[in-house]
Structure 1
């Protein structure tokens, strides 16, 4: 009698081990690597995945001591994705592959699969540049913000079954709808997981689709690679671009990374021998928005309103829909007393305080709140050095002489129709279209104390350029490379300066970086070997550096987590 044994990874948070189970004869035809099963563990029945089929003698204990698999739940990720999850567990210091296998699994039990659906209809217009990249083995295609990327996506589909990842489900749904109208068979993730396994022309979805099934995959596409939504915010902080590039490398198929301004990481790791392919500069510039720069260099920032003359000209024009962007919430973030000139600070921790919509003073550092009274002289009249969107709405409404709608990321209701909107960057996603997008204080984005600030600022300009043909930028740094790059339609300007800085500082992609925060962080980093440099402290978080991701991930994975610790490990943190 043949004894069949499977190694099962339990779907249990915090459990780092896999266990061996007998495969009952009646279940054997349905069990393979990736199959989702139910097993008994410590007296209760739990779910898990088969990660390996064992040969005789490979089981941890004798067959007579093994418990049987209790039930086959349904289909799961194939063996190649299980192997990819093992790689990702090191790349993003996850210690075990479970988070990635969860991303690769269906959201409900799949017990049967639909038949294959391959299209025989002729595709619409394709992109010669994208086709050339795919034929050469993969690379990066730079398309300006107002260009249609659908021809590039068609070029990949022409190669055979294609996997595509977009920043949002809304983007994925839009592409799926357009291609279905052309007769292309599409599985929209995550809902169409079974159809994807059955076989279609295109599997497309948001970030998690990087782990989607795509049998006989011939190509993979990452759209809007610059968008931060492609990186997981929770730990492990994996990036869809890196998953796709590694997945294609293992399968020996080409990848296509598309963006108006590819990140330096994409250029260094995904561009291939041919470098970044883009249209001629004269044609590329035409598909960027008009960048109008309001130079505020000669102004004193603390004495001037963010509502400039150039902005007033546009918000007063009844024929224009204007979207104003400021990432300062509430009424104010920084204030000074008009009577004694002192900065308004927290009486508990001495940090600068802001003013909420209910006119109280709030400390973002320690959470203290108090009435709007100066801590030095008791006065109640303040100068608003950095007004929030609530205060800006009042100023804009007075200047525009028409209603202004405030939009923030916490809003859940539909945005009311108006001629002028003001909000955080969330307004760029919640307003359908506009004639002008105005960044009221863009320096706080370009000059943010983050090593990716320039790329993140470019991402905002790209989003604004897709919403409106004109982007107005108010700045005290009119010659900054981000503004010059957008104004000239030449992202190389940013890439050159970014490469020089990051090579000098050993920052990604020219080194590996991680951040560890939480209780027990000091004890954890104390175990790391000489290949990892440690900076920072337990109060603000430890910053780790290494020459490469494998060294960093391996060191973090082998370090023992202190008992009772609550740690967050961010590998390649986007906002450091």
Structure 2
């Protein structure tokens, strides 16, 4: 498809101007440029195709946005160099969404396009995608009757309208099947659906559920684990209109489904739904933008609820989709909260050996006796991932690099299992506390490995399985067994668990994080939903202070009330989502240059600069200059929700100005980041 270089090139006879967006990294070059379409490329140079153009003396990739009769540019225009592919991959709906996301997150369109459109695979484009006659989807509505207005929501969706809801899934709910129900209703109305989930395990469940009610050809699953050829093949199946339902992880929210009628985001509190690459969009926010622009239905669902989802309900943007309290009480397991204390452990020798309070030990023993597995959730993997002086509680630190010491395995006669630095890997078998001189160490948090070892000794003869790290189990069989899992790696048990023990709750709740309480409740509820209901003997024991609001929300099974309280508290102190906050990272010089150039809203408040949060890593070599030796700092800019769009626009324009001057190091801008500091 290359244009010939011999002779004089003549422009196309009709609409000879091509408006092109070059894929350039510099923010001040995020704009359209006009080129002349040569006559030999007239047929293939259509809106949405990939092209190559000459820019500043070099060839760069780009997308052809439109064909025009005339150009506003007064000077001489260059010719399109090449049409890389005649496949129109950037349709009008996707282009509009890309523009909206770039504006919302003070980013650039090329950065968003790299997230939205996978790299081209030429061989796949030449394959023919056969499209057979698709059968009528299987419509299931009965299970949705358990939720107030559930039937009405399905009627509105099937009637071609655009209902929006925050769905509170019942404990024990086959949520993947319910999402498949929604997708089938959308397809039955002649429209498409996009279902976004946090990880591969969730994707596999939803994919299986959707294929049970829809033809295989109508469903594609997109994930990062696919090879470039297969991912592009499935993406094209959606772009060409064969696949009407796309399931995938965060980037699938951009999938080019024809005539989208439904966008769903499951478990929006999961960190993996936040994109770690510029401009750092969250899949939930992209889905909401897409639903608004496309006029389609939107569902944000989960077993727990985020403050952001609650804000959608309280502002009237979405409706609640919840069950009545009578139905909830019939589905939940019995939840008991108790403090983890030495006094409680002393009540029962077996409980002390298992490092469990007596009530938790009794619940596990009752479940095993009844022939059901027991789930034990621990916050950390490893053996003993955190150590402190047994006498004065001073955290144990490496004498070489001052990193934290941990026990990677059980102590042995050969020296294995000695306290080892988690930073430099140096073992310190003769450690002594620099504060009091004691050589005795205690566990601050006990990991999954140590917990499994202790439970194996306490419940002799019972199978103990571990799930976490590089060895995550998807399912476990029914029958008496103990499953020790790290947070987020809990496998599904055949028939459900008889009991779940949620250990070391203080380690989750005590984190210095704005979302600590919200995330803790989400993780507890995700584990508790795998347990049989109380009517069948299911029991959950959470080892945490019962007086804490988060613990009480679990005991009462009230994620909506917890989210409502979280939102009210954040509103009172001016935290997201009650306000919009932009975190700007860069050197002191670049931060000053940005703020001098930015026309911030009148109600903007600047905070800082301060040091970067602990553990924060910057993408050196991309947005932040790798050669800069100046320290990187963070500046926060806060505005009311009504000024969020103005803030993003001001920061985006200011970064373009600073970038054009080339007088300061590059900057990183994150709008509404998950972690502020």
- Would the TM-score normalized by the shorter structure come out above 0.5? yes
Match of 1:537 in 2: 610
Give 1:221 shift.
2.6
- Kept after mapping to 2: 8 A contact 1:142/1:262: yes
State the match for 1:125 in structure 2.
140
C-alpha distance in structure 2 between counterparts of 1:49 and 1:173, whole Å:
33
- CA displacement, residues 266-290 of structure 1 (integer Å, 9 cap, x when unaligned): 2323674663121222113333344
CA contact (8 A) 1:113 1:194 kept: no
- Is it true that 1:235 corresponds to 2:302 in the alignment? no
Match of 1:310 among 349, 355, 359: 359
Residue of structure 1 aligned with 2:482, choices 420, 428, 452:
420
Partner of 1:103: 115
> Over residues 45-90 of structure 1, what are the superposed CA-to-partner deviations in whole Å (9 max), with x where a residue is unaligned?
5433223434412347423x44433533533121221122122112
Q: By how many angstroms is 1:413 displaced?
A: 9.4
Secondary structure at 1:497 match in 2: helix
Offset at residue 335 of structure 1 (A): 3.2
SS at 1:7 equivalent: strand
Match of 2:70 in 1: 56
Deviation at 1:545, TM superposition (A): 2.1
* Aligned residue in 2 for 1:281: 325
CA distance in 2, matches of 1:105, 1:278: 36
User: Does the CA contact (< 8 Å) of 2:273 and 2:284 recur in 1?
Assistant: yes
Shift of 1:498: 0.7
The offset of 1:115, in angstroms, is 6.7
Gaps of 5+ in 1: none
- Larger mean CA deviation between 262-271 and 111-120 belongs to 111-120
Alpha-carbon RMSD across the aligned residues, in angstroms, is 3.7
Q: Pick one of 170, 184, 187 that aligns with 2:219.
A: 187
For the structure 1 residues 386 and 201, does the alpha-carbon distance in structure 2 shift closer, same or farther, using more than 3 Å as the test?
closer
8 Å Cα contact 1:454/1:494 also seen in 2: no
CA deviations 1:487-537 (Å, max 9, x no partner) are: 3333222022112211112222211123344x5266326633552422351
Please give the secondary structure, in 1, of the residue aligned with 2:62: strand
Given that residues 23 and 69 in structure 1 are in contact (C-alpha distance below 8 angstroms), is that contact kept between their aligned partners in structure 2? no
SS at match of 2:82: coil
Instruction: Map 1:370-449; keep pairs closer than 5 Å.
Output: 370-372=427-429, 373-376=431-434, 379-401=438-460, 402=462, 404-411=464-471, 419-428=481-490, 434-449=497-512
Q: Compute the displacement of 1:141 (Å).
A: 2.6
2:189 to 143, 146, 159: 159
| In 2, Cα distance between equivalents of 1:175 and 1:342 | 47
Which blocks of at least 5 consecutive residues in structure 2 are unaligned? 1-12, 145-150, 223-230, 347-351, 410-415, 533-537, 614-632
Asked if structure 2 preserves the Cα contact closer than 8 Å seen for 1:407 and 1:423, the reply is yes
2:167 equivalent among 141, 146, 149: 141
3-state SS in 2 of match to 1:56: coil
Residue matched to 1:76? 89
| Alpha-carbon separation, structure 2, partners of 1:133 and 1:457 | 35
Residues 112-143 of structure 1: CA distance to partner in whole angstroms, max 9, x if unpaired? Answer: 77476674525321241432564464222322
Distance 2:539 2:204 in 1: 27
> Contact 2:386–2:444 (CA<8 Å) still a contact in 1?
yes
2:375·2:497 contact (CA, 8 Å) conserved in 1?
Answer: yes
1:574 matched to which residue of 2?
674
Could you give the per-residue CA deviations for residues 324-381 of structure 1, whole angstroms, max 9, x where no partner exists?
A: 22222433344343467654345467676434345454556x7584504014366543
Q: Which residue of 2 aligns with 1:91?
A: 104
Q: In 2, distance between residues paired with 1:480 and 1:114?
A: 56
How far, CA to CA, are the matches of 2:589 and 2:377 in structure 1?
Answer: 39
Q: Secondary structure at the match of 2:469?
A: coil
Q: CA deviation at 1:101?
A: 1.6
Counterpart in 2 of 1:178?
Answer: 209
Task: Find the aligned partners of 2:343 and 2:279 in 1 and give their Cα distance.
Answer: 44
Q: Distance in 2 between matches of 1:336 and 1:14?
A: 48
Q: Which moved more, 1:39-48 or 1:144-153?
A: 39-48
Q: Against the structure 1 CA distance between its residues 320 and 336, is the aligned structure 2 distance closer, same or farther, given a 3 Å change threshold?
A: same
Is residue 114 of structure 2 the alignment partner of residue 21 of structure 1? no
After superposition, residues 220-369 of structure 1 pair within 5 angstroms as 220-269=263-312, 272=316, 275-296=319-340, 306-315=355-364, 317=368, 319-338=371-390, 342-347=394-399, 353-357=405-409, 359-361=417-419, 367=424, 369=426
**In structure 2, distance between residues paired with 1:486 and 1:516:** 36
What do residues 414-464 of structure 1 show as CA deviations (whole Å, max 9, x unaligned)? 999993233421431588864433221123223432222232123213321
Q: 1:204 to 1:410 in 2, by over 3 A?
A: closer
TM-score (normalised: structure 2): 0.74
Instruction: Tell me if the contact between 1:532 and 1:545 (Cα under 8 Å) persists in the aligned partners.
Output: yes
Q: Is 1:520 paired with 2:594?
A: no
Aligned ranges 1:472-511 → 2 under 5 Å: 472-511=540-579
1:547 matches 2:573? no
Within 2, Cα distance between the matches of 1:273 and 1:492? 16
Q: Secondary structure at the match of 2:304?
A: coil
Q: SS at the partner of 1:74?
A: coil
Separation in 1, partners of 2:664, 2:421: 30
